[in-house]
Structure formats: structure tokens, C-alpha cells
Amino acid sequence: MALKLQVEQCSITTRHPFAIARGSTNGYKRAWVRLVDGDGQEGWGEADPSSFYGESLETVLAAFSKLAAHLPRDPFDLEGAEARWEKVVPKNWAARAALSAALHDLVGKKLGQPVWRLWGLDPTKAPLSTFTIGLDTPEKIRAKVQEAKDYPILKIKLGTDHDEEILRTIRDATDKPIRVDANAGWDVKRAKQMIPKLKEYGVEFLEQPLAADDLDGLAEVQKVAAKHQLPVVVDESCLVAADIPRLAGKVDGINIKLAKCGSLREALRMIATARAHSMLVMVGCMIETSLGITAAAHFTPLVDAADLDGAALTVDDPFTGATIDHGQIRLPAEPGLGVRRR
Ligand code: MG
């Protein structure tokens, strides 16, 4: 019997309004799907659209309506199903990622094995996750550093006209390793000026210093950063595996997000492509429930660094799945994604 697609909506709230270089909010509407087979077995997946890539809850719901007619007859036809979905809705990465996660979840449940085990991965190789401190006043930043006390590594959002003040505030509050994300908020001159300061403040790596398409600028910044042993990782500049070859030699690594690459299998292809170019691989997220986070957590044994705090930043996560225990990502041992409703 053919699979059926059921779409649900939920809203999640972050503890603080979450601000990056492009804006701030604390309420997020999310859609998630269930793929139901003839035996009533269900695979689940979540869509986390990003307005930066032209997606919203509305575009996700419209994409699901189109995709409902293109579900595989055989849930094990993972590769074929994903390829067809990409043809039907090429610009709807978040919606496709939800269906991809749901199909992998269903296959894992049918086989009685967690997804990481289907891929032959060792869950103890999952890295630590950073905890992100969004843009805020010095006083609130100090409070957030305190809230992040269980996390051994912090990720700091920069890209403002007072970045030094933010760094100083964090450094005065903690001596933990920090990573910074400028979210395309700098130009080449500013990035070059910031690099020695970042090093001085003990920053481990720098994410997306420049606009997504400024690859020549990135190459120039990376040269300076390399002299300071500061790796440069790109996020907005790298959506899918095909983006990676032209970034090789210009940056040191990539940040994978399911909301950008559109599927679990594309995430695996990105990891392989980046490794073929000797690049670092990091995995990131949007503000998501534990359903979305857990889908990404399953391939973390293959990556160098993770920023999967999207559900940890919320106060009303409707799901349980992968957890972050003092920064350590722990993968569920249950079949499929191993996600349950709270
Ligand atoms: Mg980023």
C-alpha cells in the first residue's frame, strides 16, 4: 500500500529573543510530517524554513501539497525518492529535508535499527555541541553565559558595530573556548581587522565573515586567518555538495544544515565532498524542535564540530530525541530517528 503524508504544525518559543546580524525573534512556527505506511508504521520529519533562503511556513506547506503525489511506493527507495522530490520542489530544501528524515525514520523502524546504525556509524564519535549566544546587551550576554554553564564550548554571534565589546564581555565572563559567527556581517577590511582580535580572545574558528557570494573576499580573509591559525568555515556560502569544489582552497570548512541541503543523503554527500577537499565539516541547525535536531544528530559521528543547540534554546520542545549532555551529543538507541512526543 502506498505511503500517506500527514502534515502537522507546532510552534516553539526560544527562552530569549534570538538575534543574529540579520534580525531577531522568539516565536517560530514549524511544520512536521508523518509518512504512514500500510501497517500503520510512521516516519517523522520536521521542516525548519529559513527566510534567508526564501522559505517560510507557507512555502513549506505548499511544497508538502505538491510532494504528497510523489511519495515512493517502496520506502526503501530513499535515493530515488529524494531525487524526484528535488525535481518537483528544487527551492524547498526545508520541506524536502522533512520528508527525507521521515523516510529514513520509517526505514529504520521497519528494520528495527537506529539510522546511525544503518549508516555504520559509532555514536560515541559524536562531537560536543556548542551553545549559541545571540546578539544582546552586555548585561544579558553575561546572563546567557551563566545559563550556558553546562556547555563546554560557546558560539558567539557577531557582525555588529560593537563586536569587540561583545567579545570582551564574553571573555570577562568565561574562559571557555569560543567560536564566532559573523553571519555575513563584515566586509574584507573589517574581517582582516578582527582576525588578530579573535585570536587574542581565544576564538577557535570563524564562521561566514563575508557575504555568501564573495568567494574572492573569503579567499583573501582566509589567507590572513591562516597566518593566525584561525580556520574559516562557511555556512551561507555553502548549501549543497555541488557548492563545495569552488570553495576549496578559499575557506577551511563548511557548515551543513538540513534546512539548506534538503536531505539526509545530501548531507552525507556534502561530508564526502568536503573530505575529498581536505576541509573541516561542521553541522548546524535552525531554531528547531528535537525532531529536526535528532535527524541531523544521526550523522554527527562523521563531523568535526557541531552546533545543534536549536532545541536547547527553546522552552516548549514538543519532542524528545537526541540529547546534549554537558555539551556531548547523545544519539538515541531506538529504531529510526528515535524521536518521541514529549
Ligand atoms: Mg552560521
Q: 182 CA to middle of ligand 1, Å?
A: 8
pLDDT tens string, the chain, 342 residues long: the values are 689 999 999 999 998 887 777 777 778 889 999 999 999 999 999 999 999 999 999 999 999 999 999 999 999 999 999 999 999 999 999 999 999 999 999 999 999 999 999 999 999 999 999 999 988 899 999 999 999 999 999 999 999 999 999 999 999 999 999 999 999 999 999 999 999 999 999 999 999 999 999 999 999 999 999 999 999 999 999 999 999 999 999 999 999 999 999 999 999 999 999 999 999 999 999 999 999 999 999 999 999 999 999 999 899 999 999 999 999 999 999 999 999 999
pLDDT of residue 23: 72
Strands (E) in the chain, as ranges, are 4-20, 23-36, 42-47, 131-133, 154-157, 178-181, 203-207, 232-234, 253-256, 280-283, 305-306, 319-320, 323-325, 328-330, 340-341
269 and 337 together in one domain: yes
- Helices (H) and strands (E) counted in the chain, each on its own, are 11, 15
Q: 282 CA to middle of ligand 1, Å?
A: 10
Are 184 and 212 in contact, with CB atoms under 8 Å apart? yes
Choose the final residue of a domain: 112, 136, 170: 112
278 and 131 together in one domain: yes
Choose the final residue of a domain: 73, 96, 112: 112
89 and 134 together in one domain: no
Domain range for 237 is: 117-341
156 and 45 together in one domain: no
DSSP string, 308-333: --TTTTBS---EE-SEEETTEEE---
pLDDT of residue 175: 94
Q: 223 CA to middle of ligand 1, Å?
A: 20
Residue 134 sits in a domain whose CATH number is: 3.20.20.120
Instruction: Enumerate residues with CB within 5 Å of ligand 1 (an ion).
Output: 181, 207, 235
Tell me the sheet residues that pair with 34. 6, 44
Are 244 and 275 in contact, with CB atoms under 8 Å apart? no
C-alpha torsion 94→128→266→292, nearest 10 = -30
pLDDT of residue 18: 72
59 and 149 together in one domain: no
175 and 314 together in one domain: yes
13 and 85 together in one domain: yes
Residue 193 CB contacts under 8 Å (≥ 6 apart), including other chains: none
Q: 133 CA to middle of ligand 1, Å?
A: 12
220 and 321 together in one domain: yes
pLDDT of residue 1: 67
104 and 57 together in one domain: yes
Q: 334 CA to middle of ligand 1, Å?
A: 30
* Amino acid of residue 47: A
Q: 252 CA to middle of ligand 1, Å?
A: 15
Choose the final residue of a domain: 90, 112, 134: 112
pLDDT of residue 17: 81
Classify residue 280 as left (phi > 0), alpha (psi -120 to 50) or beta.
beta
Q: 36 CA to middle of ligand 1, Å?
A: 34
Are 33 and 98 in contact, with CB atoms under 8 Å apart? yes
Instruction: Indicate the pTM of the whole model.
Output: 0.96
271 and 160 together in one domain: yes
Residue 58 sits in a domain whose CATH number is: 3.30.390.10
The structural domain count of the chain equals 2
108 and 124 together in one domain: no
**DSSP for residue 269:** H
Q: Measured between alpha carbons, how far is 91 from 66 in angstroms, rounded to an integer?
A: 13
92 and 26 together in one domain: yes
**DSSP for residue 167:** H
Give Cα separations from 89 to 3, 6, 34, 82, 251 (angstroms): 19, 18, 19, 11, 30
Length of the chain equals 342
Phi, psi (rounded to 5 degrees) for 114 = -65, 150
